[in-house]
Chain A
Amino acid sequence: MIQVSDGKIGTREFFSILYGMMAIRVTDSTPNLLHETGLTAAWMMPLISAAVLFVPLMMMLSLLKKGDTDTDLLQLLTELTGSILGRLITFLIFASVFSSTVLNGRSYGDIVTVMYYPDTALLIVMTLLLGAALYISHRGLEAIGRTALLVVPVFMVTSVILVLGVASQLNFLYLFPIAGAGGWEVIKGGVGYSSFFADIIIVGVLASRVRTFEAYRKASIWGLWVPAFKMALFLAVFVMIFDYPAVRNIAYPYHHLTRMAMIGSLANHVEAFFLALWFIGAAIHFATYLYISAYLLGKLIGYPPYQRLLLPLAGAAVVLGMMPENHLQGDHLRKLLLQSTSVFFLLLPALLWGLDRFRKKGKR
């Protein structure tokens, strides 16, 4: 039956968006940050991050459930913390989302120019990437959701194919010593880098755009754990194929992995296939980020036709992304951003939950 579009998305679309936002981190410099901290035990860190984030997620879900179906994170903020503090927090979320768009945009541009097209200007790659993202996000959340739903199953299948393609070259013994940098270091790292999955809290601002609360709850729980497990799997695969300490020296392990993959003995240059898919994934990733940035900025400055903000934001992302001299500077900024926002996103739902409790007591 053809349904009339209501601008809202369902469980599968929302899950695909979340997958597109988080699972693609496997392919950029994220594994390097994790391997640097966790050494051979880096694969545990995403699972720790997800477990740590699961508590705030549950708190946020319990708050969203109480309200009517149109409640979202921003409404909760204004309701519970008041207009001024609410705006400040909204600004902080916007700042973290947009700066992550800028830094990741640069990082993805670097990957393309370093690994695949050494003679192409970075500016062109970034323009193309954010241009494609702009085009998708311009069509609205529903379009992002549908595009994601279309390609995410393909990504999942190809990830499995990729792992199978290198399976014969893996040695699970390289995962030992099991605690890597030491148990405490790994846990600390897992908590410190939990903002890799903080998207799960951020998308609370879109809660009212999901058809039902039940759909939102289901999609966000799956959307947290599936990317976390994928990340853990790939971190383990990277160590199993390159071995520690060599894995620390490889700039973009995912792209080296696609080069090493072989499907049969004839198809051994399959990276072009993965590059094409990866670029589509990146476009969806940035489309979501741009959309959320524009949405938040619109709310922040009280400008309802927020879709008009997409173009300036995309342009700003390209210009700002070109500023760091090389990817090391960008990575350094990214590390700072991740560590500072981790605490923020872990505590935000707890703060809201506490305020909610407090207010209820006051009423009674």
Chain B
Amino acid sequence: MRWNGWKLGMVLVILLLVSGCGERRELETSAFVSVIGLDKAEQDHQVKVTFQISNPQVNTTQSAEAQKEPPSDIVTITSVDLLSAKELAQSSLSREITFSHLQTIIVGEELARDDLFKHIIGSAIIDPEMRRETIMIVSKERAQAFIHANKPTMETRPHKYYQFMEDNWRKTGFSPVSNLNAFFQRTEGELFLAAYATAERDPIGIRHDDDYSAGEVPQDSGDPVQMIGSAVMQEGKMVGMLNGEETRISQLLRRKNLIETMTAEFPDPLNENYQISLVLNQSSHTEIEVDTDRSPVKIDVKVPLQVKVNSNIALEDFTASQKRRDALREMVKEKMEEASDSLIKKLQENYTGEPFVWYATARRNFWTVSGFENFEWGEKFKEADVDLHYEVSVTSFGEQLSPPAFKKFEEDK
């Protein structure tokens, strides 16, 4: 047996060493797709796929050799699906396309509103190279135009741009954190919010704080792309839109809020001429209770909210008395409840479902899966009584004990 073991061992060692060469991929022979854009093509059942391919040599130590090369290359192919487009793109591209660093999928609104989209995205996920944590963004214009227009000044490399933007969403709440995994979780009528973006400008004038959709934020110069608000998707199809404020509120109404902080404007309770900007965050989960036994269904939502006063344009002094602080708290509570109620009303009127993952809470009341499926949550939500309560606590007044004394001087005069 001894000689046998030796021989076997040698063969195995050799096999072990060479097996690594089986499917090696060299950096310089790969084309790393960092963004994919999907659009409706002119013909039926065809899709225009835009690949934005990163140039790995830019911004690295090798950049001296590739000074004249652009940071990315953009190729658009019309085909029946993503997989064949990937293959067809190879006809003009010298390097082998790989999705292993794909982070973002941009869907043109026209395609997102089409029945074709669920087929495209549903078949794309079958490809093992596709990762479920890929972020999905719906663009107002065609995705191809969006990708071409998106030339951020600070971020030369496209994947960094999207990564940093996504990090931003967690701090502003303007866009929902929307990856494909969440998209595929909600295929049975639940609403899914995808980030909404555009590189076009459509100014509508000055509005209240975060009441903007993408393209409407008053901005002069700077990067062309705006990402704010969300596209409402149901059963793999875009059915509507929410603006920045509604998107933020829908994040707050979830049990598990993915947004760390957000800053919002409220009317100043002490001085109606001014607004006050407040930093909002949540210290604990939103509590949701669903009573499915009664009809219509009753939903109780308790949203804990912490408020920090980090700016105070009216220069009113909140630290002087408890009464003033109570007024601030009441005002925040009232405004938030008002806005949330109108969002829920809008959803109930326009859609059969909700984007707050309340269906997961409703599932607790059921013993079996088939019991819940027969219940038809979407329809029941349309009629539901929703009782919203914000529990506001004011935790900080910034780094000044009281506002500077200009005002007092003014009054004395």
The answer to whether residues A246 and B366 also contact, given A173-B255, A173-B361 and a CB cut-off of 8 A, is: no
Please, how many angstroms separate the alpha-carbon atoms of A256 and B372 in the complex? Answer: 27
* B132–A134 CB distance below 8 A: no
Across the A-B interface, how many residue pairs have beta carbons closer than 8 Å? 92
CA distance A114 to B129 in the complex (A): 10
* Interface magnitude class on chain A: 35 or more
Q: A181-B369, A182-B367, A259-B132 are in contact. Are A174 and B12 (CB under 8 A)?
A: no
B residues less than 8 Å from A132 (CB atoms):
12
B23 in contact with A117 (CB, 8 Å): yes
A256 contacts B132, CB within 8 Å? Answer: yes
When chains A and B are docked, how far (Å) is the Cα of A284 from the Cα of B367?
Answer: 40
B interface size (C-beta, 8 A): 35
B367 contacts A246, CB within 8 Å?
no
B119 at the interface (CB under 8 A from A): no
Question: Could you give, for residues 267-280 of chain A, a 1 whenever the CB lies within 8 Å of some chain B CB and a 0 otherwise?
Answer: 01100000000000
Q: Are the C-beta atoms of A120 and B23 separated by less than 8 Å?
A: yes
CB pair B357 A171 closer than 8 Å: yes
Other-chain residue from B15, B187, B357 in contact with A128 (beta carbon distance below 8 A): B15
Is B363 located at the chain interface by the 8 A CB criterion? yes
Q: Is B59 an interface residue (CB 8 A)?
A: no
Contact residue among B1, B11, B22, B187 (Cβ-Cβ distance under 8 Å from A117): B22
* B351 CB-CB contact with A under 8 Å: no
Query: Do B368 and A182 touch across chains, with their CB atoms under 8 A apart?
Result: yes
**Residues in B whose Cβ lies below 8 Å from that of A115:** 128
Q: Which residue of B lies closest to A138 (CB)?
A: B5
With A177-B369, A181-B368, A259-B132: A245-B8 Cβ-Cβ less than 8 Å: no
Q: Nearest A residue to B184 by beta-carbon distance?
A: A246
Distance to closest chain B CB from A275 (angstroms): 12
Instruction: Pick from A5-13, A19-27, A153-161, A236-244 the stretch touching chain B.
Output: A236-244
Chain B residues within 8 Å of A128, by CB: 15, 19
B100 at the A interface (CB under 8 A): yes
* CB interface residues, B 321-368, toward A, < 8 Å: 357, 360-361, 363-364, 366-368
In the complex the two chains form, what is the Cα distance from A215 to B370 in whole Å? 46
| Nearest Cβ on chain B to A301's Cβ, whole angstroms | 19
| Alpha-carbon distance between A244 and B372 when the two chains are bound, in angstroms | 12
CB distance from B123 to the nearest CB of A (A): 12
Chain A interface main SS type: helix
Of residues 1 through 35 on chain B, the ones whose CB sits less than 8 Å from some CB of chain A are: 1, 5, 8-9, 11-12, 15, 19, 22-23
Q: Say if the beta carbon of B133 comes within 8 Å of chain A.
A: yes
A298 at the interface (CB under 8 A from B): no
User: For the complex, is B181 an interface residue (Cβ under 8 Å from A)?
Assistant: yes
Q: Most chain-B Cβ atoms within 10 A of its Cβ — which of A182, A242, A243? A: A243
Contact A179 B131, beta carbon cutoff 8 Å: no
For B8, the closest partner residue in chain A by CB is A135
B188 at the A/B interface (Cβ < 8 Å)? yes
CB A97 to nearest CB in B, in angstroms, measures 23
Proximity string of chain A (111-126) to chain B, C-beta cutoff 8 Å, 1 when within and 0 when not: 0001101111000100
B371–A177 CB distance below 8 A: yes
B185 interface residue per 8 A CB criterion: yes
Q: Is A131 an interface residue (CB 8 A)?
A: yes
Using known A-B contacts A114-B128, A115-B128, A138-B8, determine if residue A177 contacts B23 with beta carbons closer than 8 Å.
no
Least distance between B363 CB and chain A CB atoms (Å): 4
Pair B255/A178 contact, Cβ less than 8 Å: no
Tell me, yes or no, whether B201 is within 8 Å of chain A by CB: no
Q: Assess A180 versus B368: contact at CB under 8 Å? Given A173-B255, A173-B357.
A: yes
A151 within 8 A of B: no
Determine if B148 is an interface residue (Cβ-Cβ < 8 Å).
no
What is the CA–CA distance of A260 and B367 in the complex, to the nearest angstrom?
A: 30
Rounded to whole Å, the gap between the CB of B5 and the closest CB of chain A is: 6
* A75 interfacial by beta-carbon distance below 8 Å: no
Q: B160 contacts the other chain (Cβ, under 8 Å)?
A: no
A39 interface contact, C-beta 8 A: yes
Instruction: Give the contacts of B121-142 with A (CB-CB under 8 A).
Output: 128, 131-133
Tell me if B95 counts as interface (CB < 8 A to partner A).
no
Tell me, yes or no, whether B407 is within 8 Å of chain A by CB.
no
A307: interface (CB < 8 Å): yes
Q: Is A101 an interface residue (CB 8 A)?
A: no
Q: B12, B187, B357, B364: which contacts A135 (Cβ < 8 A)?
A: B12
Shortest beta-carbon distance from A61 to chain B in Å: 34
Residue of A138, A139, A241, A246 with highest tally of chain B CB at under 10 A: A246
Contact residues of A between 29 and 56, Cβ < 8 Å to B: 39-40
- Report the minimum CB–CB distance from B256 to chain A (whole Å): 6
* Known contacts A119-B23, A177-B369, A259-B131; A131/B360 CB under 8 A: no
CA distance A128 to B11 in the complex (A): 11
**Min CB gap B400→A, angstroms:** 34
For residues 233 through 266 of chain A, which have their beta carbon under 8 Å from a beta carbon of chain B?
241-246, 249, 256, 259-260
Nearest 3 CB-CB pairings of A with B: A173-B360, A243-B185, A176-B363
Q: List 16 A-B contacts (CB under 8 A).
A: A118-B23, A131-B15, A135-B9, A171-B255, A173-B255, A173-B360, A174-B363, A177-B367, A178-B364, A179-B367, A181-B368, A243-B360, A246-B185, A249-B184, A260-B133, A260-B181
Question: Chain A: residues with CB nearer than 8 A to chain B?
Answer: 39-40, 114-115, 117-120, 124, 128, 131-132, 134-135, 138-139, 169, 171, 173-174, 176-183, 241-246, 249, 256, 259-260, 268-269, 307-308
| Contacts beyond the supplied A177-B368, A177-B371: 4 A-B pairs with Cβ under 8 Å | A120-B23, A173-B363, A176-B366, A182-B367
